[in-house]
Amino acid sequence: MEVYRRLDPERMPRHVAIIMDGNGRWAGKRGLKRFFGHKNGAEAVQFIVETSSRIGLPWLTLYAFSLENNLKRPRAEVNFLMMLLRSYLTNNVQRMNDNNVRIRYVGRTTDLPKEVCERMQWAEESTAKNTGTTLTLALNYGGRSEIVDAVRRVAADVAAGKVRPEDITEADIDRNLYTSYMADPDLLIRTSGEMRISNFLLWQIAYTEIMVTDRLWPDYRGVHLLEAIEEYQRRERRFGGLNTGTESDDVKSLPDRELVL
Ligand code: IPE
Ligand code: IPE
Ligand code: MG
């Protein structure tokens, strides 16, 4: 692909996270029920997974189902999403193996229906030996509840006398998050134009580059991911510092009056 040749292999992101939004709007535009949007959205997932594997992306994290979706959407829609998840896993594990993709999950997944949990576990075990892209699906996931779960574990260590409160560091929180096996996302993409985070990876995106596209998730393809990476490579990441090549001001060389604010 043309855009792939334009990418700088030295500046590839290691972790891309995507808020897959807009399935309902995609269906609405066509006069279809929301279910059709979800079905086409599920089909788009595998394109993105395979593009990620082809470009050697180590981590791809997809927000598939939030805690709030579970609590606030009609039961019929939630049940349909659960059914779609099961069939996505059943139908795609072979392709994941063909593409050396490993699947994992983050979220309060034990609260999902038993038959969904079993399928998830089967897919995870069936792909556990793969060494290419790790696809992480965020399911029944909420960023705040993830932090609560991490804090509970740190608090248990404090109660057991393993760590003193004043010795708790960011690394202790990090290690107890669901995402402890990954680096923080370099790039966060949200489809369908909404300029919000919707409780996704709150801790981990402290310095992530954010990109919002108007394209609806069922229309999202590998080329769009590559275009997003191309834009990512034009961004200048600073992490609170100065951009490379900036000369630090030599305060002594300035006349005093220029420093008066
Ligand atoms: C994203 O699409 C998929 C899930 C949240 C499960 P939506 O269902 O949120 O679609 P819109 O935002 O209503 O278009
Ligand atoms: C975020 O989308 C969750 C997922 C994509 C799974 P939502 O559609 O739930 O977010 P809001 O409600 O518009 O903030
Ligand atoms: Mg939405």
Listed by start position, the domains of the chain span 11-144+183-258
- Give the tens place of pLDDT for each residue, 145-198: 999 999 999 999 999 999 999 999 999 999 999 999 999 999 999 999 999 999
DSSP 43-70: HHHHHHHHHHHHTT-SEEEEEEEEHHHH
Which fold would CATH assign to domain 11-144+183-258?
Undecaprenyl pyrophosphate synthetase (3.40.1180)
- What is the pLDDT at residue 258? 66
**Would you place residue 261 in the very low, low, confident or very high pLDDT band (cuts 50, 70, 90)?**
low
Using CA atoms, how far residue 186 sits from 132, 228, 259, in Å, is: 18, 12, 37
- Judging by beta carbons within 10 Å of its beta carbon (0-12, 13-18, 19+), is residue 164 exposed, middle or buried? exposed
Q: Which of 18, 21, 196 to mutate to test the pocket of ligand 1 (most atoms within 8 A of CB)?
A: 21
Q: What is the Cα–Cα distance from 153 to 172, expressed in whole angstroms?
A: 10
Q: Strand 134-141 to strand 187-190: parallel, antiparallel, or no bridges (unpaired)? A: unpaired
- What is the pLDDT at residue 245? 75
Average pLDDT over the chain reads 96
- Check if 139 has its Cβ closer than 6 Å to any atom of ligand 1: no
- What amino acid positions are annotated as catalytic residues? 21, 69
More confident residue, 260 or 239: 239
Using CA atoms, how far residue 5 sits from 2, 227, 229, in Å, is: 5, 11, 12
Atom of ligand 2 at shortest range from CA of 194: 13
- Check if 193 has its Cβ closer than 6 Å to any atom of ligand 2: no
- Check if 20 has its Cβ closer than 6 Å to any atom of ligand 1: yes
Q: What is the Cα–Cα distance from 209 to 157, expressed in whole angstroms?
A: 33
